[in-house]
């Protein structure tokens, strides 16, 4: 695939003249590669200057996005992949002022669903070339003295602790590459029989100044409405609003895992009597032992953790409103 040179920097390019850097995972598969190629060609036809960089290992997308932003010769850095790739690129762009574009090629594509970004390559190219900017607030995971991180890790859509994170931490990655979301379904069934369901101790700071404590089986800190695909879990969450919606699943055990999963698929999770959703500005989670925390589908830290909103939002390119 071609890597096109960038034009010299010039102020305020028109939408159809956007300078675009695409960051992609070359191991995504032949079908996804064809979709990526079609999107790249679509961008060229729309007048964009396009470059492509391919990752080789985890963390590359963050470094590449940061380098592109610092170079000052791009208007948009595009994450071509799934939620993990988008997470890495967003981490690299945080605070830079360079816009984030998305070509949804992954398993769940939760941000694309949230923002109305189409999977069709031609339509995705149209959004990147002519779309408008929307604020995307990022969550930020800060580890404690007991479990230090190299630095704050930001997330786009969600962070989860408890059984949710255990499944993400132990899913068979080879099976995930072959079967997509079915790998998580299979892992959930397997782990539910052996997981001992220790309770998460959660402290939630609310916008009105209260602190709420709860001991729950699973806690999911949501930045958007959707979870795991086109399933609405937190109806009041908004990626453009600087607060979280924290989902508390209170009941531990195999039977309740099945009940929660069915309710999520049916769009009824928030209605269950043992599910509570609380608006939050800050969340602290502790769990016995070095249990994992997942963010956007990858393990990013271990307990205990502190979760806040990042200081600055990212500018996300979304479809322009219909005339």
Q: Are 93 and 118 in contact (CB under 8 A)?
A: no
Tally of CB atoms within 10 A around 288: 11
Mean pLDDT is highest, among 162-171, 274-283, 306-315, for: 274-283
Residues 107-116, mean pLDDT to the nearest whole number: 91
Report pLDDT for 10. 36
Report pLDDT for 289. 77
Report pLDDT for 139. 98
Residues 194 and 280 in one domain: yes
- The residue segments making up the domain with residue 31 are 15-130
Q: What is the pTM of this model?
A: 0.89
Encoded tokens for 8: 């010299």
Report pLDDT for 33. 87
293-302 pLDDT, tens digit each: 999 988 999 9
Q: What is the CA radius of gyration of the chain?
A: 20
Residues 297 and 180 in one domain: yes
Of the chain, the percentage scoring pLDDT greater than 70 comes to 91
CA atoms of 19 and 50, how far apart (whole Å): 6
* CATH number of the domain that residue 196 is part of: 2.60.200.40
Residues 104-119, mean pLDDT to the nearest whole number: 91
Encoded tokens for 12: 């305020």
Residues 167 and 293 in one domain: yes
Where in the chain does DSSP place strands (E)? 19-24, 49-54, 76-81, 99-104, 132-136, 139-143, 153-155, 158-162, 200-205, 211-216, 218-222, 244-249, 275-280, 282-286, 292-295, 298-302, 305-309, 314-318
Residues 98-125, mean pLDDT to the nearest whole number: 93
Helix ranges (H only) for 142-181 are 163-170, 173-179
User: Is residue 8, in this structure, part of any structural domain at all?
Assistant: no
CA atoms of 306 and 282, how far apart (whole Å): 7
Residue 172 backbone dihedrals phi, psi, to 5 degrees? -75, 110
Encoded tokens for 75: 């208007």
Residues 53 and 99 in one domain: yes
User: Is residue 36, in this structure, part of any structural domain at all?
Assistant: yes
User: Is residue 200, in this structure, part of any structural domain at all?
Assistant: yes
pLDDT of residue 149 exceeding 80: no
Helices 182-194 and 163-170: angle between axes, nearest 10 degrees:
120
Report pLDDT for 9. 35
CA atoms of 98 and 75, how far apart (whole Å): 6
Encoded tokens for 146: 């007991």
Report pLDDT for 190. 84
Q: Are 124 and 11 in contact (CB under 8 A)?
A: no
Q: Are 114 and 102 in contact (CB under 8 A)?
A: no
In the structure, what pLDDT confidence band is assigned to residue 14 with cuts at 50, 70 and 90? low
Range with the poorest average pLDDT among 144-148, 185-189, 218-222, 308-312 = 144-148
Structural domain ending residue among the three candidates 76, 99, 130 = 130
pLDDT of residue 6 exceeding 50: no
Residues 180 and 100 in one domain: no
User: Is residue 256, in this structure, part of any structural domain at all?
Assistant: yes
* 3-class state of residue 306 by DSSP: strand
Domains held by the chain: number: 2
Residues 87 and 144 in one domain: no
Residues 88 and 169 in one domain: no
162-214 pLDDT, tens digit each: 999 999 998 888 888 788 778 888 888 888 888 889 999 999 999 999 999 99
């Amino acid at each position: 695939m071609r890597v096109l040179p960038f034009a010299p920097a010039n102020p305020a390019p028109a939408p159809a003249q956007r300078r675009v850097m695409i960051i992609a995972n070359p191991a995504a598969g032949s079908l996804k590669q064809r979709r990526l190629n079609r999107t790249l060609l679509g961008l060229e036809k729309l007048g964009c200057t396009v470059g492509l960089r391919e990752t080789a290992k985890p963390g590359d997308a963050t470094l590449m996005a940061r380098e592109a932003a610092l170079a000052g010769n791009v208007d948009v850095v595009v994450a071509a992949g799934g939620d993990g790739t988008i997470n890495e690129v967003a981490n690299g762009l945080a605070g830079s002022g360079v816009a984030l574009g998305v070509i949804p090629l992954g398993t769940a594509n939760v941000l694309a669903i949230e923002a109305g970004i189409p999977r069709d390559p031609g339509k995705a190219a149209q959004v990147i070339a002519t779309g408008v900017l929307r604020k995307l607030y990022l969550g930020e995971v800060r580890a404690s003295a007991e479990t230090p991180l190299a630095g704050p890790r930001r997330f786009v859509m969600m962070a989860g602790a408890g059984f949710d994170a255990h499944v993400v931490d132990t899913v068979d990655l080879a099976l995930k590459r072959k079967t997509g979301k079915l790998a998580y379904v299979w892992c959930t069934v397997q782990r539910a029989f052996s997981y001992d369901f220790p309770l998460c101790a959660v402290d939630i700071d609310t916008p009105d100044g209260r602190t709420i404590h709860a001991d729950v089986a699973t806690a999911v800190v949501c930045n958007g409405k959707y979870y795991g695909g086109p399933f609405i879990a937190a109806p009041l969450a908004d990626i453009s609003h600087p607060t979280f919606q924290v989902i508390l699943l209170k009941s531990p055990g195999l039977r309740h895992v099945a009940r929660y999963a069915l309710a999520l698929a049916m769009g009824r999770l928030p209605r269950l009597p043992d599910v509570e959703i609380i608006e939050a500005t800050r969340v602290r989670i502790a769990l016995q032992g070095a249990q994992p925390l997942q963010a956007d589908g990858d393990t990013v830290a271990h307990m205990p953790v502190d979760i806040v909103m990042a200081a600055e939002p990212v500018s996300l390119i979304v479809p322009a409103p219909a005339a």
